Amino acid sequence: MNMFLDRKDAGQKLALALSKYKNKGVLVLGIPRGGAEIAYEIADYLDADMSLLVTRKLPLPFNPEAGFGAIAEDGSLFIKRDAGNWLSRDEMKRIIEKQKAEIFRRITVLRKGEALPIIKNRTVILADDGLAMGSTMRASVTMCKNMAARIIIVAVPVSSKETAGEMESLVDELVVLETPPFFQAVAQVYLNWHDVSDNEVQAIMERWKMKHEGKGYMEDQKIDKVKDFKKKLGSVEKEERFEQKIEQLKQFSQSLRNFLIDNGLVNSEYAREFIDLYDSGRYAYEEEKVIVDARSVLDDLEKLFSG
């Protein structure tokens, strides 16, 4: 039986279950890649800070879907007690080093190399799309304890009953929406399930920054963004080859449209008209009007962000 349409739906339902933390200054850390969308929806609803805590399962070489533990980005380890029955110490070390390299790659690609927000003395919500064996979450919990989090909450849409019971003893609070009696895999409770890509996580994080870092970009970043748009618009105006000009105008218009919508800046007459021009495809034969409207939109935004 499917309880959730997708990760977005699961994250929104989980956010409601965490509503007592709304506007409480908590930090939501998603475990990528599957936990990114979950964390986004929780943090968005709670008006909380959000980032990604990169933790990796330590896969068994003969069965990569299974694992003998996990490692967090600070080196915190969780190793199953019987791991030595399957692997030698050298094999474990080799797998750990490989996953350390992948953690570094993911921090670079998914978090753009940025450091985590301060965890010390904060209430931290660790979010993922579900718990099966719970190894990656255990390593993540250990890392947050090592970094002196004040309160640690684990929040997931689904978990096996056994793992939920074990996790509850490790943290201050566990929030799980579903514990199916016949648990087989996290995916069983989702109608739409797929492996999340790096590109999807990057898009989620970009969406977060656009919407929440000072309700969009911080003021100086907003101004820089408008200046960048003006520079690009100037390049479009100078393009003399018609086909290239239309293609550049299309790309420019799409970027500006998304910026206006994501930041809730669609109320001005110029902005509404510009978005309508793009959505109707009229940029292809009313390019001069699109350019004029875009220039007016950008002038208005510059005044707005400059105070």
Query: By C-alpha distance, which of 62, 209, 79, 70 is closest to 128?
Result: 70
Give the per-residue pLDDT at 1.
62
Please give the pLDDT value at position 270. Answer: 67
What are the residue ranges of helices labelled H in the chain? 7-17, 35-46, 89-110, 135-146, 161-168, 198-212, 219-238, 242-262, 269-279, 287-306
3-state secondary structure of 39: helix
Contact indicator for 244, 236 with CB cutoff of 8 Å: no
Task: Look at the domain 7-212 and name its fold.
Answer: Rossmann fold (3.40.50)
Q: What is the pLDDT of residue 81?
A: 85
Residue 190: strand pairing partners? 4
Residue 24 main-chain phi, psi, to 5 deg: -105, 5
Q: Phi then psi for 269, rounded to 5 degrees?
A: -60, -45
- Asked if residue 6 lies in contact with residue 200, where contact means CB atoms within 8 angstroms, the answer is no
* Nearest CA-CA partner of 153 in 166, 165, 171: 171
Per-residue pLDDT at 216: 44
Q: What is the DSSP letter of 246?
A: H
Which sign does the torsion angle of CA 243, 248, 251, 256 carry?
negative
Q: What is the pLDDT of residue 101?
A: 96
pLDDT reported for residue 180:
94
Q: Give mean pLDDT in consecutive 10-residue pieces for the chain, a chain of 307 residues.
A: 89 97 93 97 94 95 83 95 82 94 96 91 96 96 96 97 96 97 94 93 90 57 82 88 86 83 66 78 77 85 72
Asked if residues 181 and 164 have their Cβ atoms less than 8 Å apart, the reply is: no
Q: The dihedral of CA 41, 10, 177, 170: what is its sign?
A: negative
Residue type, 156: V
Stated pTM of the model: 0.69
